[in-house]
Amino acid sequence: MEPEPPVRIVWVVAGDESGPPDPAAIDVVDEVLSGSAAKGHVTQLDDLTTTCFVAVGQPGLDWFERCAEQLVSPPPSLLVVDDASTAEAATGSGPVDEVVWRDALADPVRFTLRARRTVAGSRAPADPPVFDFEPLVEHAQDLITVVDPDGRIRYANPAVEDILGYDRDEFVGTPVFEYVHPDDRREVAAETKAVLDSAETLVNTNVYRARHADGSWRWLESVSQSEDLTAPVDGYVVSSRDVTERVERESRLQRERETTENVLESLEDVYFVLDRDGHLQRWNSTVETVLDRTASELDGLDVRAVFVDADRSRLDEHLAAVIEGESRTIQLDVRTADGERRPYEFKTSPFVVEGEIAGVCGIGRDVTEREARADRLRRTERRFQAVFDDPMSFLGILDTDGRLLDVNERACEFAGVIADDVTGRRFWRLPWWEHSDAEQDRVRSAIERAADGEFVRFKTTNVGPDGELAHLDTSLRPVVRDDGTVASIIAEGIDISEEVTANRERELLLDAIQSAARAPDLEAALTETLRTVVANTNVVYGEAWLPDGGELQLQNAWWTDEPELESFGRHSEGLRFGKGEGLPGRVWESGDHEWVLNLDERTEASLPRIEEIVHAGLASAVGVPVLGTDGSVLTVLVFLTDTSRGRDDRFLELVDTITAHLGAILQRKVVEDELAAERERQQRLLETSPVGILVVGGDGALEQENQRAREIFGVEDAETVADAYEREPWRMTPTTDDGQELGTGLFQGVAETGTSMRNAVYVVDRADGERLWLLVNAAPVGGEKGEVIVSFSDITEQKRHEQAFQNQAERVSVLNRVLRHDLRSHLTVVGGLLDRISEQADVPAASVEAIRQSLDDLEALSQRARRIEAAFESETQATVDLGALAERAVADAAGAHPHAAVTLTEASGVPVLAHEHVRLVLDNLLENAIVHHDEPNPSVEVSVTRHDETSARLVVSDDGPGIPESEIQLRESRLETALEHSDGLGLWIVRWLVSKSDGELRLERTENGSRAVVLLPVAPGAE
């Protein structure tokens, strides 16, 4: 079909009223001309069938009439009117081809279509050629008749037989009104008369009823033309078409339209009509009820306002499609009067008026319940589909005769069939049952019982095309109609192969574990495990390799049921494998199982014993480690088969499970041995400990003691501490006012609260009269028994030293007071006398100066004694920055002794908790290093560092002669006698202050001199 040629639109400004084109139509107008210019344009056109001339109102009609009078070929004419009178005048005027109302210009597309139709209507030639009439209409589907002025039928084409059922020859010559329904004759006669009486060519269309040859009435639509241009007879031509269905349809539509109006108002559904912009134009009362709005509120309401915002874009897309001519369905959530969101389904179609889409009409239904039902149905369908597609079940649907109607994919996959190949056939004759006639008879019998309404269940087996055996729990469930008859049968086979295999494996596993647990020793346990596996699987030989130092050995742990393989086992007993050597060694090294296929293709390097393995007919092997709880390999199991079926993961899983339990059994034995050894070791530690140890039970009873405890309490070996105490109790007194009596109640309190007792000092008056000082610690063991471990350290000697030290301190205090008072007074007197002697007598100056220096030394000693006394009288500890303190002490010492090289090599800012006079420690160590040096220029180095998390380290080292052995012994004994002392009080003060600071002092001799190391506790909270 050739494409329709384009049409140009020329707007004719014929007068003042016509004016320029409307703004809406300006885009489709190709040219705007005045009346005279337009007329000249018409005469210049070679083809008038491609241009439409448009004019407006009465001036436009006048212009078209002038063109018809003055031009040989008037142009295609389209008149735009605003009033009915002009439209009526134009309709009766020959020059105008088409008339449109001005509002049609608002739609450029519609306007363009009317222009095209105007041109198309004018393309028909005014004087059509004369054709031979009968050949033209003989094959027409419409009934073509020629009626003479008297009303008789002069000609009828063959279609009369199809449309009215009359013989053509009998029909011709009969009066035409004889076939018209009596109720329609008057109207048809009047229309016919108008055609005949018209002086001009007149085309008229009638719809009326005509009698069919069978007596029924058919509706015909006839077009009569008063002047026939083709028929060679007088009269008029009538073209008739059977429109019975259309008329009946229109009649039904009219009735339906009336019914619809009533129905729409009675509907619970909402009915509405929207304009092209989506505003409400018409609605039923249900809309007012649902939205709780009045008619005035709804009139012109933008329909988008009643839907949720989330649906806005979908709604706009939907309305645009309907405006374009589509009928659509959409579901949206409506905001109802009570604020609820309810789902509505809307069926919408274009609302057409006079052939033009004026808007959208639709019906909306509340589908809340439907959606709920659909959701339930979907869930049901999903559940059914999930069941039917269950990969673990064989499912099929049978009729009551046992024919398979449907089957799921799992069943088809297993049998290697296609569903279309097996449906429609008797179920028991299908591949699932071909392996057994007995099973076929069993299934057929079960189907007969199910067809009678009985639920049938039985266990059976299926064999796949590759020999795979499936164990099934099979059931036949009848589907019963409401009348009680069976409609179909659901056949279900649940694959219980895993369950059957698992039951067998559980039995095997239980047997292996029980056998190993009952075995008297490790070798027997391994042998029983090998026997169980070999007897219940396709394994023909098994062996266990045990680590022995850096090698694996077989010993006698192997098993086989095949007599010909016994020589292979005996041959292997003497072999040993290192890590990574052979299959056992590789498994030992990796800690993971290894599967080896095609043993005959292996080499001696990768698989020792290969010659014996091939000779014994063994084809595959697997090595499995038995692991302890710490992941170490306790033993390696090796299993061999005489077939090569590839890696058997299920067998590996089974063996892994067995070895896991076996590992626990072996590990338990190892743990038991280790616990026994640990108990023995603890007992030895208990007996050799330098500290007395007692274990007290939750009930206060003494459960365990060591030799040292008996020695501390003076108990004979023949009896226990508890027996000795019961026989002759000794007294134990706490040394602090808040201390508790040492006894069962105290230890039970430790067990109950979980709070340990630390470093409590008690005085013990033994039965033999000896008094001891004991340092007591107690801590709960934990657990349900409530046991407490109590340790006793004999600190009697230490206490005696402390007492001696205290006595010495008191003596020093007395001496200091003497020095402060008597000695200082005498020194003052002597100094004064010396001044007088030096002034009056001729005494050598050197002698006087020597005496004065001695007096100054004695004064310095007195001052030093006062500082020592102040330190003795203080028990206060303070937080001190040891690094900063060292910096000040080194600076002071360097200033006092300029001949000495005193340096601070490292000074970390470590805060320590020490005696408030701890500076004396640094001063005395520095003075000792400088003053007692045997060289004129001594060298002394000082460093302060962090020793560990809890202590700081102060080191003072020199290059002098070293600390005398007597001083080191003094420090170790912590006593000063008349024969063993230093030249001054220096080191004694150092030792005393370090002790009061809870620190530690070490005096060491080095290759280059001596070194004093002081450890002091870090202050709490210091990082």
**What are the strands, taking DSSP E only, across 216-299?**
217-225, 236-242, 270-275, 280-283
**Four-residue CA torsion sign, 853, 854, 855, 857:** positive
Instruction: Give the H/E segment covering residue 542.
Output: strand 541-548
Q: So what's the pLDDT on residue 231? A: 43
- Whether residue 1 is predicted with pLDDT greater than 70 in this model: the reply is no
**Four-residue CA torsion sign, 970, 976, 979, 981:** positive
Do 308 and 333 touch, CB atoms closer than 8 A? yes
Reduced to 3 states (helix: H, G, I; strand: E, B; else coil), residue 606 is coil
- Whether residue 843 is predicted with pLDDT greater than 80 in this model: the reply is no
Q: So what's the pLDDT on residue 350? A: 94
What digits encode the pLDDT tens for the residues 899-940?
989 999 988 888 999 988 888 888 889 888 888 777 888 999
Q: So what's the pLDDT on residue 129? A: 36
What digits encode the pLDDT tens for the residues 345-397?
999 999 998 889 999 999 999 998 888 888 887 787 777 666 677 776 888 89
CA neighbor of 176 nearest in space, from 213, 219, 211: 211
Q: How would residue 3 be classed by pLDDT, with cut points 50, 70 and 90?
A: low
Q: In this structure, what DSSP letter does residue 103 have?
A: G
Q: So what's the pLDDT on residue 214? A: 93
> Which region among 296-300, 403-407, 581-585, 608-612 has the lowest average model confidence (pLDDT)?
608-612
What digits encode the pLDDT tens for the residues 278-293?
999 989 888 888 888 8
- Side-chain half-sphere CA neighbours of 990 within 13 A: 27
Dihedral angle of Cα 410, 411, 412, 413, to the nearest 10 degrees: 50
- Residue 991 CB neighbour total at 10 angstroms: 22
Do 568 and 541 touch, CB atoms closer than 8 A? yes
Q: So what's the pLDDT on residue 942? A: 94
Average pLDDT over residues 515-540: 82
What digits encode the pLDDT tens for the residues 563-598?
888 888 888 887 889 988 888 999 999 989 888 888
Bridge partners of residue 77, in order along the sequence:
53
Do 542 and 530 touch, CB atoms closer than 8 A? yes
Do 218 and 163 touch, CB atoms closer than 8 A? yes
What digits encode the pLDDT tens for the residues 219-239?
998 887 754 444 444 567 888
Count of residues making up the chain: 1023
Q: So what's the pLDDT on residue 226? A: 59
**pTM, whole model, 2 decimals?**
0.31
Rank 11-25, 152-166, 485-499, 763-777 by mean pLDDT and report only the highest: 152-166
Percent of the chain exceeding pLDDT 90 equals: 17
Question: What is the SS3 string spanning 428-463?
Answer: HHCHHHCCCHHHHHHHHHHHHHHHCCCCEEEEEEEE
Percent of the chain exceeding pLDDT 70 equals: 82
Do 408 and 393 touch, CB atoms closer than 8 A? yes
Mean pLDDT for the chain? 80
Q: How many angstroms separate the CA atoms of 872 and 849, rounded?
A: 34
Reduced to 3 states (helix: H, G, I; strand: E, B; else coil), residue 661 is helix
- Residue 391 CB neighbour total at 10 angstroms: 9
Q: How many angstroms separate the CA atoms of 872 and 565, rounded?
A: 91
Q: How many angstroms separate the CA atoms of 675 and 283, rounded?
A: 93
Give me the amino acid identity at 508. Answer: L
* Residue showing tokens 């001044």: 835
Q: So what's the pLDDT on residue 344? A: 92
Contacts within 8 Å (CB) and 24+ apart, 591-596: 591/625, 591/627, 591/631, 591/633, 592/625, 593/622, 593/623, 593/624, 593/625, 593/652, 593/655, 593/656, 594/622, 594/623, 595/620, 595/621, 595/622, 595/647, 595/648, 595/652, 596/620, 596/621, 596/622, 596/623
More confident of the two residues 306 and 872: 306
* Residue showing tokens 């495990």: 529
Question: From the centroid of its chain, how far is CA 794?
Answer: 64
Do 470 and 496 touch, CB atoms closer than 8 A? no
Q: How many angstroms separate the CA atoms of 1004 and 957, rounded?
A: 9
